[in-house]
Amino acid sequence: MFRRLSPAFTILGGSVVVLAVLVAALVALRDNRGQGHGGEPLEVYCAETMRESLTAIKTEYEKEFGQEVILHFGASQAILVNLEFNKTGDLFIPADESFIEIARKKNLITTVDDLARMNPVVIVRRGYAKEIATWDDLIAPGIRLGLANTETTAIGKLLKNKLSTDKRWDGIAARVTTYAGDISAVRNNVVLGTVDAGIVWDMIAEQVKDKVKIVRLKELDKAGGLAQIALANTSKQPNAARRFTRFIRAKDKGAVHLIKAGFTKVYEGHAMDERPELTVYAGSMLQPALKQSLIEFEEREHVKIITVYNGCGILVSQMKTGEKAMPDVYFACDVSFMKDVQSHFKEPTNVSNNQLMIVVKKGNPHDVKKLTDLGKKGLRVGVGHEHQCALGALTKETFIRTGTYAKIMKNIVEEAPTGDLLINQLRVGSLDAVVAYRSNMYGFDAELEGTPITGIPCATPSQPIAISKNSAHPQLSKHLMEYLSTAQSRSRFEELGFGWELKEVGK
């Protein structure tokens, strides 16, 4: 039989329950903030052109992630100035890439993603007596034309620059009666009848299509703009800013609103994923140079990178046979292996180079100083496997081109899939000499010494990197390539003995 609980105990028990609920809530809040949920508001400097779509995206994002987004709208030049002088903000979205380049040169931004393309069109006020159907109609005497400022707005700047090349600008300028501060003002002036016609972006025209007549002229097509979104260097919460960028571009989230707004082309990304995955295939010799940079990129972009290191021959075989899915990024040990799968990848870029070395024990007990010495009687030589790795294929090519192949082949007792395996066998005494990369020797200065194989191009192979044509995350893959081209990444390669062939992005 249960006893009746005292009121004090009942109150105490209730307090414990309430306390437990509060603690659980605080833990959940901590966990959410650790993932970038909630927290301080995101500040976005955004072109007036994007007002309708970004406002809708902001509302949806705030509801889903519980983080406020503050949108600062204005002409592209104005938001650029605000970003520079306010020294605050997380993202920068002008209406044209020319302002992105200015921001990049001023060191105001870092990673950049494409959002959408826009084309200029003519909007004509209802009731205008004359027909505007051709370029000559647009610049005919008597028309009152409205245009956005040619210095501070993307559309005004592009129109002046692009139309000046074929001398069409003078005809436009002669008819402009009003230069507005932003593109929305041009739209409003046409709707209100302050001007007879105006030139605006196509999605701005779509917003008032029931109040104006929209005219598309081929002469204006070349003045199209590319809207991009850039992470600001002033951002104090870059992970959250990158998540908002992914949300804007996600085909099931922000891209829906961009398409609805009427942009000419939307560069939509993959479906929204809190932590997308990238698969990277790389030659084994690149692992020491890549490992830390990939860890940093994972943390910075809040992504998961699945790395597969192996001999390039093995990796290429897997890609050709379909044994494994095609990676998002392939970083090869030599251009020849990239060529073998080039049809699956975009144009590659050479990042580094590595030197083939004749490697022996410290003190060089067998007096091996040149390729012909590898043919000395009784010498145990190790090389890379010609079909499994770039090292083996390049070594064989080097032997053939120098006329030493037949002499050395009789001494080869080991063909390994990686240079690291050859170095380990040399260290334990199973081999007397090996041909490996300079980078394979890193960390063994006290045990090993080497002689570079020079005078033949194939003995200094370049390492190219490329993005898969079918990558689910092409923009993230592009950002990874950019990250691997930074000064910090370069220092890691050079510390290991690699040469550097790639300039830093933006330099």
Domain boundary assignment for the chain: 1-32, 42-115+227-266, 120-223, 277-353+461-500, 356-459
- Span 212-226, mean pLDDT? 92
Q: Which CATH class is domain 356-459?
A: alpha beta
CATH of 120-223, one of 3.30.930.10, 3.20.20.70, 3.50.50.60, 3.40.190.10: 3.40.190.10
Q: What is the CATH number of domain 277-353+461-500?
A: 3.40.190.10
pLDDT tens track for 307-347: 999 989 899 998 988 756 789 999 999 999 999 999 999 99
Report, as an integer, the average pLDDT of 371-391: 93
Residues 6+ apart with CB under 8 A from 341: 316, 319, 320, 330
3 state DSSP class of 460: coil
Work out the average pLDDT over 364-387. 94
368, pLDDT greater than 80: yes
> What's the pLDDT score for residue 376?
93
Establish whether domains 42-115+227-266 and 120-223 are of one fold: yes
Mean pLDDT throughout 234-263? 92
Q: Tell me, what's the pLDDT at 88? A: 93
Superfamily of domain 42-115+227-266: Periplasmic binding protein-like II (3.40.190.10)
- Residue 8 has what pLDDT? 43
pLDDT mean over 74-95: 94
> Which range among 34-43, 138-147, 300-309 has the greatest average pLDDT?
138-147
Residue 473: is its pLDDT beyond 90? no
In the chain, pLDDT over 70 holds for what percent of residues?
Answer: 91
Average pLDDT over residues 80-97: 94
Contacts of the segment 372-376: beta carbons below 8 A, 24+ positions apart: 372/404, 372/407, 373/433, 374/404, 374/407, 374/408, 374/411, 374/433, 374/435, 375/404, 375/407, 375/408, 375/410, 375/411, 376/411
Q: pLDDT by residue (tens digit) across 398-432? A: 999 999 999 999 999 999 998 999 999 999 999 99
> Which residue in this structure is represented by tokens 């992970």?
239
The reported pLDDT for the residue numbered 504 is 47
The tally of CA atoms less than 13 A away on the side-chain side of residue 1 is 2
Angle, vertex CA 196, rays to CA 191 and CA 197, nearest 5: 80
Average pLDDT along the chain: 88
Query: What CA dihedral angle connects 62, 67, 303 and 266, to 10 degrees?
Result: 40
Residue 37: what pLDDT? 52
pTM score: 0.67
- pLDDT exceeds 80 at position 57: yes
- Is residue 456 over pLDDT 80? yes
Residue with tokens 């494409």: 114
pLDDT of 25 > 50? The answer is no
How confident is the model at residue 370, as a pLDDT? Answer: 93
